[in-house]
Amino acid sequence: MAQKFGSNNILHLACQLGKAFEERKLPYCWIGGVTVQRWAKPRQTADVDAMIFTGFGQEESICKQLLSIYPSRVESPLELAIQGRIVLLADELGTGIDISLGGLPYEERVLDRSSIWEIPDHGALKTCSAEDLVVMKAIANRPQDWIDIENTLIRQQKRIDRQLILSELEPLVELKEEPEILAELKHRFSAIK
């Protein structure tokens, strides 16, 4: 059964931005709270999060394209895009738009696995897979992220590829030097069959 959403400004904003990204031929997908609506238990989210794959060296160019859509929330958006690989925008209502600039091979695979989610009365969103949502939430490692992970595992049950999650997460956890993340995820896997 398809989920029903009433009028939802966040989903509407994401659909409009997705169209703008596609018009500019920017390789993107939605991540974060918007994607939780698709794969986990729908919940309120105050902003939208996307990842645009830029590789390395295109950060300034992409940032300028994004600034032509919505204004920055920070004083030095080009510097942040180049150094922090993120662009922070806001729409006319003040809704936060966080756009990560992907460059790692994992982030390219996230795009390869992304798919279209048709939302009645809103449009279509290109979201990351449920597996990649779990990986990104585990790396973020905040209390709400673990709730979202549990809800994703419960809702997706046998459809989710746990081995893919572990194989993608392991090198990222090593890079972050936080092995407890992997241990926590394995614990959640064993608790949710």
State the Cα–Cα distance between residues 169 and 141, nearest whole angstrom: 12
Is pLDDT above 70 for 32? yes
- pLDDT mean over 67-87: 92
3-state helix, strand, coil in the chain (%, to 5): 55, 20, 30
State the Cα–Cα distance between residues 130 and 102, nearest whole angstrom: 18
pLDDT score of 29: 98
pLDDT score of 183: 96
1-128 has which fold?
Beta Polymerase; domain 2 (3.30.460)
Strands 47-53 and 96-102: parallel
Say which DSSP state 157 is in.
G
Q: Report the C-alpha dihedral over residues 10, 118, 136, 114, rounded to 10 degrees.
A: -140
How do the domains of the chain map onto residue ranges?
Answer: 1-128, 130-193
- pLDDT mean over 67-74: 93
SS3 31: strand
Which is nearest to 99 in space by CA: 139, 135, 64? 64
| Higher-confidence position of 149 and 11 | 149
State the Cα–Cα distance between residues 151 and 145, nearest whole angstrom: 10
The pLDDT > 70 percentage for the chain reads: 96
pLDDT score of 122: 81
- Going by pLDDT thresholds of 50, 70 and 90, the confidence category of residue 1 is very low
Is pLDDT above 70 for 33? yes
